[in-house]
Structures are given as C-alpha cells and as structure tokens.
Amino acid sequence: MNPVHADFFAGGAGEERTVRGNLAAFDRLRIVPRVLRATGDRDLRTTLFGTELATPILVAPTAFHLLAHPGGEAATAQGAAAAGTVMVVSMAATQPVEIIAAAGGPLWFQLYPQPDPAFTAAVVKRAESAGCRALVVTVDSPVLGHRARDVRNGFTDLPAGLACENMRDDTGRVRPVAMDATLGWDRIAWLRSVTGLPIVLKGVLHPADARLAVEHGVDGLIVSNHGGRQLDGAIATIDALPAVAEAVANRIPVLVDGGIRRGTDALIALARGATAVLLGRPVLDALAAGGATAVHEKLRTLTADLDRAMALAGARRPSDLTPDLVTVTG
C-alpha cells in the first residue's frame, strides 16, 4: 500500500494509547481450560438476527477499501462470503452497497446518522434495497478524533476518482460524511420508525448505556472503541465487555471488536460474554496482501485457530465458553 494509506488504516487518535491498549489487554488475560469434556467435532455455527453463520468471526465496518486493493469492498465481501460470515459495509465505502451486495454473502450496513433526516432515511432504504440484513449505527463519534498520522501525512481526502459512494445523493453529488454532536436516543427511536431492520449500536463501552439500549428496544450492541480512532485513552474493549454483557443479561446479542488477532483472543471474548467478534485491521491487511482470496484465508485460519482453542479449552460450541474459563493476570 501507499504508506500514507497504510498509516490511515493502522493509525489511531492522539498518542494511540487505546490502539495499543486493545492489544495489550489480551496479554493480561489467560485461559483456564477444562478437561475430559468430550468435545468431539466442534460446532462454531452462530445465528444472528435469523442468519446462520459458519463462524462467530465477522468483518467489521472499515472505510476506503479501494485504497488497499483494486477489488475494494466487493473483494472483501467475496472473502467473507467464502468464509460463511457477515461483512458489515461501511457508510464510507469506496464502492456502492449494490456492487458489494452483488459479490454475495450476508451484509449488514454501518450508518453514521446524518444531520439531514431525509438523506439518512434514503441511505437506510438504499441499504435495505441492496439486501442488507441489519443496521449498525455508530454512536461513539459526535466529533472526529484527532489522528496525528493523517495530519502529519496531509491525508485529508480520497485520491481523485474515489469517493464515499454510499454518500452519493439522487442528484449524483457525493455528500461529506458528517459527525453529529446532536445525536441522542431520540434519533435511535426515529431510525426505528424508518426501518424494519434490526438496529445494532456500535461504540458502547459503559454498562449504563447498554441498559439504556435495551430499554430503547435496540436489537444488539457492539462493544467498540472505534479501534482506538476516536477517544484516545478509552478503555480496551475486552476489558469493557464483561460489564456490558452483565448489564444486557442475554436480552440481546453483544458483539465486540478491537485487538482480536488470533483464535484464542476470540475465545476469550466469547467467554467474557460476546456472542460474536468482529475483525477490522486484520481483514484490511489481508485484502491488501491478496484480495478476496487472502480475506477468506484470514477468516478461515482464525476460525480454525478458534476451533482448535475451543477443543483445548474443553468447549464444543461457542455457548460452552463461560467467564470461568478466563482469568486476569498482572
């Protein structure tokens, strides 16, 4: 990749403490395996919002895939489909959701609610028409985090010929993706009035917000700190996960992203209360290295690593992974 674009994908906000913290948090956790559990052949199938997936490892929403590979988001979708899992399409994708959907496989759509309600509703309807099966609403971005790498590199816009295609309105103009500091629970209720899709909130870290989400009829949560790209110094997601899962008390699915790099990380997340996990940067790295084939291989190898770790920990299904299988060290 162009080093400037590689920095865009790898970088985070501020001094990147949260980027590093997401990874370091897993180093403080250890698996306490059970034995003689007769796990046999493991079954990693996971059902989310009526869709059965082959693995509890999903593709997180990330922007600008055409900067990583000429196949763009469509290639990522092909890799995810081959792995039998969901890709969450970013609102800031560099290919239209319709083209990404044509690549096959189940999709969810990530949304930044825009200040213009009519345009937001049009984007949601467009995602519905393309076949997206859930709406992932990012709620941790009232403003954009300060990303020093992008400032240093002068990376302020996409190269000529590329655009956030899902922000193209009916006049053909591409609108900028706006962060909206007025976003509140009333906007989530409004979204419910314009879509029948399941609504998943992405960016929840505090258990009080998790309880409010359930009270407001949200269908799922993603415990996320935006990969460390918004509030530097935010809690690592794997550390935030147990309290959020306890607050939700199995009433809705809880997913998590941030710092997951191997199957044992996924096992720890599932044991700490996640229904599934999402990968961001590792998928982009795979896409850059080898397009759809490499994305599939990344997801396949992580799923195989999770399968192996489950056998060694004494679990046959993801639901067998319980909090007592993980301990904190250091």
Query: Which CATH number do you get for residue 223?
Result: 3.20.20.70
Amino acid identity, position 94: T
Number of H helices, E strands in the chain: 11, 12
Identify the pLDDT of residue 317.
Answer: 97
Its domain, for residue 247, covers 3-328
Token pair recorded at residue 237: 């997601």
Whether pLDDT at 220 is above 80: yes
Give the active site residues. 226
CA distances from 126 to 29, 75, 80, 196 (A): 42, 20, 21, 13
* Beta partners for residue 52, in sequence order: 47
Confidence of residue 199 (pLDDT cuts 50, 70, 90): very high
pTM for the full predicted model: 0.97
Average pLDDT over residues 90-113: 97
SS3 58: strand
Structural domain total, the chain: 1
Closest residue by Cα to residue 266 from 307, 227, 234? 307
Task: State the residue for tokens 């076949």.
Answer: 131
Is residue 298 within 8 Å of residue 290, measured between CB atoms? no
CA dihedral 144, 147, 153, 155 (to 10 degrees): -20
